[in-house]
Amino acid sequence: MKKLISGTILIFGILMISCSSKKDDSQGEQLSEADTNQNDSLLYPEEKHLKNIQQLTFGGDNAEGYFSFNNEMISFQYRNKSKGLECDQIYYGKLPADNSRFEYKLVSTGKGRTTCSYFLPGNDKVLFASTHKQVDTCLTDPDRSKGYLWGVYPSYEIYVADLSGNILQQLTDNKFYDAEAVVSPKGDKILFTSNRSGDLELWTMNLDGNEPKQITNGLGYDGGAFYSPDGSKIVFRASRPQTPEEVKEYIDLLKKDFVKPTKMELFICNADGTDLKQITNLGGANWAPFFHPSANKIIFSSNHTTKRIPFNLYMINLDGSGLEQITFDKIFDSFPMFSYNGKKLIFASNRNAAADHDTNLFIADWVE
Protein backbone atom coordinates (compact mmCIF):
# COMPACT_ATOMS: atom_id res chain seq x y z
CA MET A 1 0.00 0.00 0.00
CA LYS A 2 2.91 2.32 0.63
CA LYS A 3 4.00 2.10 -3.01
CA LEU A 4 0.45 2.71 -4.16
CA ILE A 5 0.20 5.92 -2.17
CA SER A 6 3.70 7.35 -2.58
CA GLY A 7 4.41 5.92 -6.01
CA THR A 8 1.65 5.34 -8.49
CA ILE A 9 -1.07 7.46 -6.90
CA LEU A 10 1.33 10.33 -6.36
CA ILE A 11 2.50 10.30 -9.96
CA PHE A 12 -0.96 9.58 -11.39
CA GLY A 13 -1.80 13.01 -10.02
CA ILE A 14 1.35 14.75 -11.19
CA LEU A 15 -0.55 16.55 -13.96
CA MET A 16 -2.36 18.58 -11.35
CA ILE A 17 -0.04 18.61 -8.32
CA SER A 18 2.71 21.17 -8.67
CA CYS A 19 4.09 24.10 -6.69
CA SER A 20 7.27 25.59 -5.29
CA SER A 21 8.19 28.75 -3.45
CA LYS A 22 11.76 29.17 -4.58
CA LYS A 23 13.65 29.36 -7.84
CA ASP A 24 15.98 26.46 -8.66
CA ASP A 25 18.43 26.45 -11.56
CA SER A 26 19.39 22.82 -11.16
CA GLN A 27 21.72 21.51 -13.86
CA GLY A 28 20.87 17.86 -13.23
CA GLU A 29 21.76 15.17 -10.76
CA GLN A 30 25.32 14.16 -10.03
CA LEU A 31 25.50 10.75 -11.65
CA SER A 32 28.04 7.98 -11.69
CA GLU A 33 29.39 6.58 -14.96
CA ALA A 34 27.18 3.54 -14.49
CA ASP A 35 24.13 5.74 -14.05
CA THR A 36 24.56 7.48 -17.38
CA ASN A 37 25.16 4.37 -19.47
CA GLN A 38 22.47 3.16 -21.81
CA ASN A 39 21.43 -0.08 -20.18
CA ASP A 40 18.94 -2.53 -21.59
CA SER A 41 18.87 -4.26 -18.21
CA LEU A 42 16.40 -1.45 -17.43
CA LEU A 43 14.03 -3.12 -19.89
CA TYR A 44 11.83 -6.09 -19.12
CA PRO A 45 12.37 -9.09 -21.46
CA GLU A 46 8.89 -8.67 -22.99
CA GLU A 47 9.53 -5.05 -24.04
CA LYS A 48 10.40 -5.88 -27.66
CA HIS A 49 9.56 -2.44 -29.04
CA LEU A 50 12.26 -0.69 -26.99
CA LYS A 51 16.06 -0.83 -27.06
CA ASN A 52 19.05 1.28 -26.05
CA ILE A 53 17.14 2.69 -23.10
CA GLN A 54 18.69 5.54 -21.15
CA GLN A 55 17.58 6.86 -17.78
CA LEU A 56 17.60 10.66 -17.92
CA THR A 57 16.67 11.66 -14.37
CA PHE A 58 17.56 10.19 -11.01
CA GLY A 59 15.38 10.96 -8.01
CA GLY A 60 12.23 12.88 -7.24
CA ASP A 61 9.11 12.97 -9.36
CA ASN A 62 9.79 13.56 -13.05
CA ALA A 63 7.05 13.31 -15.66
CA GLU A 64 5.55 14.62 -18.89
CA GLY A 65 8.77 14.71 -20.86
CA TYR A 66 7.87 16.15 -24.28
CA PHE A 67 10.19 16.63 -27.26
CA SER A 68 11.07 19.90 -28.96
CA PHE A 69 10.19 20.13 -32.65
CA ASN A 70 13.84 19.45 -33.60
CA ASN A 71 13.96 16.33 -31.35
CA GLU A 72 17.00 17.72 -29.51
CA MET A 73 15.44 18.84 -26.20
CA ILE A 74 12.64 17.97 -23.84
CA SER A 75 10.52 19.97 -21.43
CA PHE A 76 9.19 18.26 -18.32
CA GLN A 77 7.90 18.83 -14.81
CA TYR A 78 9.86 17.93 -11.72
CA ARG A 79 9.66 18.07 -7.95
CA ASN A 80 11.85 16.58 -5.28
CA LYS A 81 10.75 17.00 -1.67
CA SER A 82 14.08 15.71 -0.37
CA LYS A 83 15.68 18.79 -1.97
CA GLY A 84 13.06 21.21 -0.76
CA LEU A 85 11.20 21.31 -4.08
CA GLU A 86 7.74 20.62 -2.72
CA CYS A 87 5.75 20.84 -5.95
CA ASP A 88 6.24 20.60 -9.70
CA GLN A 89 7.98 23.24 -11.74
CA ILE A 90 8.81 23.21 -15.44
CA TYR A 91 12.31 22.45 -16.70
CA TYR A 92 13.96 21.86 -20.04
CA GLY A 93 17.16 20.14 -21.08
CA LYS A 94 19.10 19.12 -24.17
CA LEU A 95 19.11 15.38 -24.72
CA PRO A 96 22.59 13.87 -24.35
CA ALA A 97 24.20 12.89 -27.64
CA ASP A 98 26.00 10.03 -25.91
CA ASN A 99 25.89 8.54 -22.42
CA SER A 100 26.64 11.85 -20.73
CA ARG A 101 24.61 13.42 -17.96
CA PHE A 102 21.26 14.94 -18.79
CA GLU A 103 21.35 18.58 -17.66
CA TYR A 104 18.31 20.76 -17.20
CA LYS A 105 17.27 24.27 -16.25
CA LEU A 106 14.21 25.89 -14.71
CA VAL A 107 11.80 27.53 -17.16
CA SER A 108 8.82 28.39 -14.92
CA THR A 109 8.82 31.04 -12.21
CA GLY A 110 9.38 28.70 -9.27
CA LYS A 111 6.10 29.89 -7.72
CA GLY A 112 2.64 28.38 -7.63
CA ARG A 113 1.63 25.12 -9.23
CA THR A 114 2.69 24.34 -12.80
CA THR A 115 1.75 21.60 -15.21
CA CYS A 116 1.77 20.42 -18.82
CA SER A 117 4.64 22.06 -20.69
CA TYR A 118 5.20 21.91 -24.47
CA PHE A 119 7.70 23.41 -26.89
CA LEU A 120 6.57 25.95 -29.45
CA PRO A 121 7.80 25.99 -33.07
CA GLY A 122 11.32 27.39 -33.25
CA ASN A 123 12.37 25.38 -30.20
CA ASP A 124 13.22 28.50 -28.19
CA LYS A 125 9.99 28.89 -26.19
CA VAL A 126 7.92 26.65 -23.92
CA LEU A 127 4.28 26.99 -22.96
CA PHE A 128 2.90 25.68 -19.67
CA ALA A 129 0.09 26.23 -17.18
CA SER A 130 0.78 27.95 -13.87
CA THR A 131 -1.11 29.42 -10.93
CA HIS A 132 1.70 31.84 -9.99
CA LYS A 133 -0.13 35.06 -10.96
CA GLN A 134 -3.22 34.34 -8.85
CA VAL A 135 -1.76 31.89 -6.28
CA ASP A 136 2.01 31.93 -5.94
CA THR A 137 2.19 29.42 -3.08
CA CYS A 138 1.27 25.76 -2.85
CA LEU A 139 -2.42 24.98 -3.00
CA THR A 140 -3.69 22.33 -0.61
CA ASP A 141 -3.90 18.88 -2.19
CA PRO A 142 -7.40 17.37 -2.57
CA ASP A 143 -8.84 15.63 0.47
CA ARG A 144 -8.09 11.93 -0.12
CA SER A 145 -10.87 10.90 2.27
CA LYS A 146 -13.27 11.74 -0.56
CA GLY A 147 -11.47 9.39 -2.95
CA TYR A 148 -8.65 9.99 -5.39
CA LEU A 149 -9.11 13.41 -7.00
CA TRP A 150 -7.36 15.83 -9.33
CA GLY A 151 -7.56 19.56 -8.72
CA VAL A 152 -8.67 21.59 -11.75
CA TYR A 153 -7.96 24.94 -10.19
CA PRO A 154 -9.29 28.18 -11.74
CA SER A 155 -5.99 29.91 -10.99
CA TYR A 156 -4.28 27.95 -13.78
CA GLU A 157 -3.45 30.13 -16.79
CA ILE A 158 -1.34 29.32 -19.84
CA TYR A 159 1.97 31.14 -20.30
CA VAL A 160 4.85 31.22 -22.76
CA ALA A 161 8.43 31.49 -21.49
CA ASP A 162 11.80 31.56 -23.18
CA LEU A 163 14.50 29.07 -22.26
CA SER A 164 15.98 31.53 -19.78
CA GLY A 165 12.78 31.47 -17.75
CA ASN A 166 11.42 34.86 -18.81
CA ILE A 167 7.64 34.97 -19.14
CA LEU A 168 6.99 36.35 -22.62
CA GLN A 169 3.24 36.14 -22.83
CA GLN A 170 0.13 35.14 -20.90
CA LEU A 171 -2.21 33.40 -23.34
CA THR A 172 -5.26 33.03 -21.08
CA ASP A 173 -6.58 35.36 -18.41
CA ASN A 174 -9.81 34.46 -16.63
CA LYS A 175 -11.18 32.72 -13.56
CA PHE A 176 -11.46 29.27 -15.16
CA TYR A 177 -9.21 26.22 -15.44
CA ASP A 178 -6.95 26.56 -18.50
CA ALA A 179 -4.21 23.94 -18.77
CA GLU A 180 -2.99 20.77 -20.51
CA ALA A 181 -1.86 22.72 -23.57
CA VAL A 182 -0.06 21.20 -26.58
CA VAL A 183 0.87 22.52 -30.01
CA SER A 184 -0.17 21.19 -33.40
CA PRO A 185 2.68 19.73 -35.52
CA LYS A 186 1.52 22.23 -38.15
CA GLY A 187 2.64 24.95 -35.75
CA ASP A 188 -0.59 26.91 -36.06
CA LYS A 189 -2.81 25.94 -33.10
CA ILE A 190 -2.69 25.32 -29.36
CA LEU A 191 -5.00 22.64 -27.97
CA PHE A 192 -5.96 22.82 -24.29
CA THR A 193 -8.57 21.94 -21.67
CA SER A 194 -10.83 24.54 -20.08
CA ASN A 195 -14.06 24.69 -18.08
CA ARG A 196 -14.92 28.23 -19.21
CA SER A 197 -18.13 26.90 -20.81
CA GLY A 198 -19.21 25.14 -17.61
CA ASP A 199 -17.65 21.73 -18.28
CA LEU A 200 -14.12 20.46 -18.88
CA GLU A 201 -13.89 20.53 -22.67
CA LEU A 202 -11.20 20.72 -25.34
CA TRP A 203 -10.48 24.12 -26.86
CA THR A 204 -8.15 25.43 -29.54
CA MET A 205 -6.59 28.87 -29.96
CA ASN A 206 -3.98 30.54 -32.12
CA LEU A 207 -0.38 30.63 -30.94
CA ASP A 208 -0.94 34.20 -29.73
CA GLY A 209 -3.97 33.16 -27.65
CA ASN A 210 -6.54 34.65 -29.99
CA GLU A 211 -9.65 32.98 -31.45
CA PRO A 212 -10.39 30.43 -28.71
CA LYS A 213 -12.84 27.79 -29.93
CA GLN A 214 -14.54 24.94 -28.07
CA ILE A 215 -14.32 21.66 -30.01
CA THR A 216 -15.87 19.05 -27.64
CA ASN A 217 -19.13 19.21 -25.70
CA GLY A 218 -19.85 15.86 -24.01
CA LEU A 219 -20.53 15.87 -20.27
CA GLY A 220 -17.39 14.74 -18.47
CA TYR A 221 -13.72 15.59 -18.26
CA ASP A 222 -11.97 15.91 -21.65
CA GLY A 223 -8.23 16.37 -21.37
CA GLY A 224 -4.68 15.21 -22.00
CA ALA A 225 -5.15 15.71 -25.75
CA PHE A 226 -2.51 15.40 -28.48
CA TYR A 227 -2.47 15.90 -32.23
CA SER A 228 -1.71 13.27 -34.86
CA PRO A 229 1.64 13.65 -36.68
CA ASP A 230 0.03 15.64 -39.51
CA GLY A 231 -2.16 17.70 -37.18
CA SER A 232 -5.40 16.46 -38.72
CA LYS A 233 -6.70 14.45 -35.73
CA ILE A 234 -6.79 14.60 -31.95
CA VAL A 235 -6.69 11.87 -29.32
CA PHE A 236 -7.71 12.52 -25.72
CA ARG A 237 -8.81 10.93 -22.44
CA ALA A 238 -12.31 11.45 -21.15
CA SER A 239 -14.64 10.53 -18.33
CA ARG A 240 -18.23 9.97 -19.36
CA PRO A 241 -20.54 9.70 -16.33
CA GLN A 242 -23.58 7.61 -17.25
CA THR A 243 -25.81 6.97 -14.25
CA PRO A 244 -27.62 9.75 -12.37
CA GLU A 245 -25.32 9.09 -9.41
CA GLU A 246 -22.19 9.40 -11.57
CA VAL A 247 -23.46 12.58 -13.20
CA LYS A 248 -24.26 14.14 -9.82
CA GLU A 249 -20.86 13.20 -8.41
CA TYR A 250 -19.06 14.65 -11.43
CA ILE A 251 -20.99 17.94 -11.33
CA ASP A 252 -20.66 18.30 -7.56
CA LEU A 253 -16.91 17.70 -7.67
CA LEU A 254 -16.41 20.08 -10.59
CA LYS A 255 -18.13 22.86 -8.62
CA LYS A 256 -15.38 22.33 -6.01
CA ASP A 257 -12.63 22.35 -8.70
CA PHE A 258 -12.02 18.60 -8.61
CA VAL A 259 -12.41 15.61 -10.92
CA LYS A 260 -12.10 11.90 -10.16
CA PRO A 261 -9.82 10.37 -12.82
CA THR A 262 -10.25 6.68 -11.99
CA LYS A 263 -12.57 5.93 -14.94
CA MET A 264 -11.36 7.25 -18.28
CA GLU A 265 -11.45 5.99 -21.85
CA LEU A 266 -9.78 7.24 -25.04
CA PHE A 267 -11.49 9.16 -27.83
CA ILE A 268 -10.40 10.41 -31.23
CA CYS A 269 -11.78 13.17 -33.46
CA ASN A 270 -10.79 15.49 -36.27
CA ALA A 271 -8.80 18.57 -35.30
CA ASP A 272 -11.99 20.64 -35.35
CA GLY A 273 -13.83 18.20 -33.05
CA THR A 274 -15.92 16.50 -35.75
CA ASP A 275 -16.21 12.74 -36.31
CA LEU A 276 -15.83 11.90 -32.61
CA LYS A 277 -15.23 8.20 -31.89
CA GLN A 278 -14.46 6.20 -28.75
CA ILE A 279 -11.38 3.99 -29.11
CA THR A 280 -11.22 2.06 -25.83
CA ASN A 281 -13.80 0.46 -23.61
CA LEU A 282 -11.44 -1.26 -21.21
CA GLY A 283 -12.52 0.01 -17.81
CA GLY A 284 -10.21 1.58 -15.26
CA ALA A 285 -8.03 4.57 -16.09
CA ASN A 286 -6.92 4.77 -19.71
CA TRP A 287 -5.00 7.99 -20.25
CA ALA A 288 -1.82 9.74 -21.50
CA PRO A 289 -2.53 8.82 -25.15
CA PHE A 290 -0.17 9.71 -27.99
CA PHE A 291 -0.21 8.91 -31.70
CA HIS A 292 2.16 6.30 -33.12
CA PRO A 293 4.34 7.82 -35.89
CA SER A 294 2.21 6.01 -38.50
CA ALA A 295 -0.90 7.83 -37.16
CA ASN A 296 -2.69 4.47 -37.32
CA LYS A 297 -2.23 3.53 -33.65
CA ILE A 298 -2.33 5.09 -30.19
CA ILE A 299 0.10 4.42 -27.36
CA PHE A 300 -1.30 5.07 -23.89
CA SER A 301 -1.10 4.20 -20.19
CA SER A 302 -3.66 1.96 -18.53
CA ASN A 303 -4.46 -0.02 -15.40
CA HIS A 304 -7.41 -1.82 -16.99
CA THR A 305 -6.17 -5.28 -15.98
CA THR A 306 -6.28 -4.49 -12.24
CA LYS A 307 -8.06 -1.09 -11.92
CA ARG A 308 -5.24 -0.19 -9.50
CA ILE A 309 -1.56 -0.91 -10.13
CA PRO A 310 0.41 -1.51 -12.23
CA PHE A 311 0.02 1.11 -14.95
CA ASN A 312 1.71 0.06 -18.17
CA LEU A 313 1.94 1.30 -21.74
CA TYR A 314 -0.30 -0.25 -24.38
CA MET A 315 -0.88 0.32 -28.07
CA ILE A 316 -4.17 0.05 -29.95
CA ASN A 317 -5.46 0.62 -33.48
CA LEU A 318 -7.70 3.62 -34.12
CA ASP A 319 -10.71 1.33 -34.47
CA GLY A 320 -10.10 -0.20 -31.02
CA SER A 321 -8.64 -3.46 -32.30
CA GLY A 322 -5.16 -4.94 -31.88
CA LEU A 323 -4.53 -4.08 -28.24
CA GLU A 324 -0.86 -4.77 -27.45
CA GLN A 325 1.04 -4.36 -24.18
CA ILE A 326 4.27 -2.37 -24.68
CA THR A 327 5.81 -2.11 -21.19
CA PHE A 328 5.71 -4.57 -18.31
CA ASP A 329 6.64 -2.55 -15.24
CA LYS A 330 5.47 -3.68 -11.81
CA ILE A 331 4.25 -0.23 -10.68
CA PHE A 332 3.99 2.65 -13.13
CA ASP A 333 4.78 3.56 -16.74
CA SER A 334 3.06 6.54 -18.36
CA PHE A 335 3.38 9.84 -20.30
CA PRO A 336 4.71 8.32 -23.54
CA MET A 337 5.67 10.58 -26.44
CA PHE A 338 7.30 9.71 -29.74
CA SER A 339 9.91 12.06 -31.12
CA TYR A 340 8.81 13.99 -34.20
CA ASN A 341 11.04 11.80 -36.38
CA GLY A 342 9.48 8.67 -34.89
CA LYS A 343 12.78 7.17 -33.78
CA LYS A 344 12.55 7.65 -30.01
CA LEU A 345 10.03 7.11 -27.23
CA ILE A 346 10.23 8.98 -23.95
CA PHE A 347 8.18 7.95 -20.92
CA ALA A 348 8.04 8.20 -17.13
CA SER A 349 8.53 5.12 -14.98
CA ASN A 350 9.08 3.86 -11.45
CA ARG A 351 11.58 1.27 -12.71
CA ASN A 352 15.05 1.43 -11.18
CA ALA A 353 13.77 3.81 -8.50
CA ALA A 354 16.08 4.54 -5.59
CA ALA A 355 13.03 5.24 -3.40
CA ASP A 356 9.42 4.08 -3.54
CA HIS A 357 8.10 7.44 -4.67
CA ASP A 358 10.72 8.18 -7.35
CA THR A 359 9.49 8.45 -10.92
CA ASN A 360 12.08 9.17 -13.60
CA LEU A 361 12.24 9.87 -17.31
CA PHE A 362 13.53 7.22 -19.71
CA ILE A 363 14.25 7.46 -23.43
CA ALA A 364 14.64 4.51 -25.79
CA ASP A 365 14.92 3.68 -29.46
CA TRP A 366 11.59 2.54 -30.89
CA VAL A 367 11.53 -0.83 -32.64
CA GLU A 368 8.61 -1.81 -34.89
What would the pLDDT profile of 247-293 be if each residue is shown by its tens digit? 999 999 999 999 999 999 999 999 999 999 999 999 999 999 999 99
pLDDT digits (tens, 9 = 90+) for 109-128: 999 999 999 999 999 999 99
The sign of the dihedral angle between the CA atoms of 100, 115, 289, 260 is positive
pLDDT digits (tens, 9 = 90+) for 57-102: 999 999 999 999 999 999 999 999 889 888 899 999 999 988 789 9
pLDDT digits (tens, 9 = 90+) for 179-237: 999 999 999 999 999 999 999 999 999 999 999 999 999 999 999 999 999 999 999 99
SS3 annotation, the chain: CHHHHHHHHHHHCCCCCCCCCCCCCCCCCCCCHHHHCCCHHHCCCCCCCEEEEEECCCCCEEEEEEECCCCCEEEEEEEEHHHCEEEEEEEEEECCCCCCCCCCEECCCCCCCEEEEEECCCCCEEEEEECCCCCCCCCCCCCHHHCCCEECCCCCEEEEEECCCCEEEECCCCCCCEEEEEECCCCCEEEEEECCCCCCEEEEEECCCCCCEECCCCCCCEEEEEECCCCCEEEEEECCCCCHHHHHHHHHHHHCCEECCCCEEEEEEECCCCCCEECCCCCCEEEEEEECCCCCEEEEEECCCCCCCCEEEEEEECCCCCCEECCCCCCEEEEEEECCCCCEEEEEECCCCCCCCCEEEEEEEECC
Beta strands across the sheet bearing 277-278: 222-227, 233-238, 265-270, 277-278
The verdict on pTM exceeding 0.75 is yes
Domains of the chain: 2-366 (2.120.10.30)
Band (pLDDT 50/70/90 cuts) for residue 38 is: low
